[in-house]
Amino acid sequence: YIERLAEAVGIPSISSDLENHLGDINNMIEWTKGHIERLGGKTNVVVNPLNSDKITYPPILLGEFHVDKKKKTVCVYGHLDVQPAAKEDGWDTDPFTLVEKDGKLFGRGSTDDKGPALSWLWIVEAHQALGVELPVNIKIMYEGMEEFGSEGLFETIRDEAKPGKFLDDVDFFCISDNYWLGKTKPCLTYGLRGLAYFQVGVTGCEQDLHSGVLGGTVHEAMTDLVRLMGTLVDTNGKILVDGVMDSVKPLTPEEEALYESIEFDIESYKEENKVKSVSDKLLYDNKKDLLMHRWRYPTLSLHGIEGAFSGKGAKTVIPAGVKGKFSLRLVPDQDPKHIEKCVTTHLETEFAKLQSPNKLEIEMIHGAVAWLSDPKHPNYQAAARAIEKVYGSGPDYTREGGSIPITSAIEDATQMNVLLLPIGACDDMAHSQNEKYNVSNLINGIKVLGIYLHELGKIQGPKPSACKC
């Protein structure tokens, strides 16, 4: 398995640079297609629906291991593309050469997401080697653009979910593209926050001006923008925009109880996020409040200012126009369109208070709803039993502060349950230098995924895809 992962890591399938790496992504997809077919599976390479005369995107790879139409069917999703990486970025080794050291496998894509994604093929291979029939039908959906917007995948999902097509008879979905909360205890993820990303621009003139010559005579755009951004959130993280909190679901005793047993250490959290050596302070000093504000409450973060001087040294310039970037992470029942109205009203009101003659522009660049599943669903319970059999104890049930849009897209199109089953540890450094995948996580992950299939096979009752239940 490690040798095959090394082959996959050796293909620099970088989706953010299609000009130079489209061929590599296509090679990665062909490599995977060949592996599925060698195991006796069927494949279909779907042309990306967003291809045009101006740009060509990687295709979507669909695979299938059909056992018996009477058996349940699970569809697993993974991505075969990776983030950019170069040794000069600060890697200790060549990022596209898998290196094993101290029980860790270092290489770009080792944990995000080639290791977990390809594990499903190794599970099929193991069943064949042992002469054991697969307990369920397996369908596979691999893409090559996840790290750069999943271009074309959402359209493909909607099309393949139509009656009689690839996803129509899928009973359960499973995604392994996130991570444990800690380093040692597995978890199942049942919630993700959504996103509303904004840009607020203020323009004061047509070109940058000399602050020594014209400072004190013009209404400066930067001054207006800084004051506007300061009205959005306070230093304790409280959102100051009216209406944002109105639709947040109240905390139930049942949900609150899920936080009690979660394995989480605040001091380690401060160290891992490089806070301890600077301030040694977080917004909350207890596990429950900290995790709730990380997962189940909305947040507003300021990201940066476009158009302002940000280089080294000093530049005495009055920017002609500046754009502030900020976003809100949304939770279940929050509608991005409603959030857009709240934010727009707030900024327009605050700008009017400034009595500035400058021009204000507000734009929501991206909006995505939050996702919440039921940890008591049979799909989740099957995974929980698998984890208990491999690790000797049940998983933590977690939510995440980030967004995985593919999750909601699958559920919306198929009406079937989606399980997020992380395999990697919290310190795997996905997207960063020295990305790694623990050998123990690889081995135990394969065991968990394999047993999960058998637990799905034990579920009684009709096929959920037949009754949409």
Tell me: the pLDDT tens digits for 18-63? 999 999 999 999 999 999 999 999 999 999 999 999 999 999 999 9
State the pairing for strand pair 137-143/73-79: parallel
Question: How far apart are alpha carbons 100 and 104 in whole angstroms?
Answer: 6
pLDDT at 120 over 90: yes
Please report how the helices 439-457 and 378-391 are oriented relative to each other, as an axis angle in degrees rounded to 10. 130
pLDDT at 361 over 90: yes
pLDDT tens digit string along 126-162? 999 999 999 999 999 999 999 998 999 999 999 999 9
Q: Is the dihedral of CA 349, 355, 356, 357 positive or negative?
A: positive
Helix (H) or strand (E) holding 451: helix 439-457
State the pairing for strand pair 418-420/194-203: unpaired
Amino acid 169: pLDDT:
97
Its pTM stands at: 0.88
- CA neighbor of 367 nearest in space, from 338, 407, 400: 338
Catalytic residue numbers, as ranges: 81, 146
Which residue has 């929501």 as its token pair?
364
Helices (H), 175-295: 211-214, 221-229, 253-258, 266-272, 287-295
- CA neighbor of 161 nearest in space, from 67, 32, 52, 75: 75
pLDDT at 404 over 90: no
pLDDT range class, residue 464, cuts 50, 70, 90: very high
Please report how the helices 115-130 and 18-38 are oriented relative to each other, as an axis angle in degrees rounded to 10. 10
Contact between 195 and 366 (Cβ < 8 Å): yes
* CA distance to 66, 67, 114, 116, 453, per residue, from 133 (Å): 11, 8, 25, 22, 11
pLDDT range class, residue 331, cuts 50, 70, 90: very high
